Homo-oligomer: A and B are copies of this chain.
């Protein structure tokens, strides 16, 4: 290899930066500037890193999202226990700066490889494992009050969209009503400088848990008949899907209905979509959808839909423990409907998958269940 000279012209070509990119760059420069300033004043350089520990996470009753508190930890260069993570923070920041300037993006794995090297004259690596690097990326996010995606770092993508909306993705116009059986693959970075919403006739969003259920709805052209957008997130939706749903909800005022399994995992997915996650509390404001509605499956459905015994899946100990935990979440704790829902599942002693509705008819879920629930406004909030 290395026969071909590196295409210098390409990498040094000036990149058009978006307003958001310029803002993120300026935050990064400010951060680095503070280190220089401290050094010039002969004072020990340090950062204030907002604490991401559980004790610094709280539920904001008014905004109805999980938020970070004001707790922060100091990270100092001249502190033996903190010098390495100080260096790592600067390193990750500088690589993100480089990505933004080049107009490129990288996965967290790629950031790790970009940062990992043996420090000259030592046998010490900047990073040894990916696990060391991931929390540093999160530190930089919270320090700058920015989303990972704004630092040009992306997560794995998973999730698909179809429906009555036309978007522009990186200059290409994509009509999501003409995406065949496959659909538009939702990318990890869906910020306004990448994805712009153009025309949208859809009146709401139906978000389903799994791709297999999504396929049933797409095949039955549910979104056409009911004029909506249909998405899935391959289980717990990844950041890109959450952010896109949040943007569609906030910018286009589309209500979001969630069709998830009647089990603790389904409740948890709803909880994250609605209030944000405890681990990534600092992102809630830009990803959570407090108005999201839980359409089903519900604990009452076994009886109400007259399902056969054979579709019951017995709750195991882990399920019972998780269900009780979720019932104690502050945003579910004061809601009688949710307390009743979870209590009923525990009383049932079994869980139900969305797929179990197929025992009625292959298209029962698309032709009966969801339309009826929407008509009756029968969902949990």
Contacts and interface: CB of A to CB of B under 8 A. Distances in A.
Interface of A: 1-4, 6-7, 10-11, 98-99, 102, 104-107, 109-110, 113-114, 116-118, 125, 154, 156-157, 160, 167-174, 178-189, 194-195, 211-212, 215-216, 219-220, 301, 304-306, 308-311, 353, 355-356, 358-359, 361-364, 367-369, 371-372
Contacts of A173: 178
B3 A372 contact: yes
A289 B169 CA distance: 33
Q: How many copies does the complex hold?
A: 2
24 contacts: A1-B304, A2-B305, A4-B368, A4-B371, A4-B372, A6-B364, A6-B367, A10-B363, A10-B367, A11-B363, A104-B363, A107-B215, A110-B212, A113-B311, A113-B356, A114-B359, A114-B362, A157-B215, A169-B179, A169-B181, A170-B180, A172-B180, A180-B194, A183-B187
A302 to B, nearest CB: 11
Given A4-B372, A160-B185, A362-B104, A212 B180 contact: no
Highest count of chain B CB atoms <10 Å: which of A106, A116, A215, A216: A215
A154 B184 contact: no
Contacts of A105: 215, 219
A362 B99 contact: yes
Contact of A358 (B113, B187, B195, B305): B113
Contacts of A6: 361, 364, 367-368
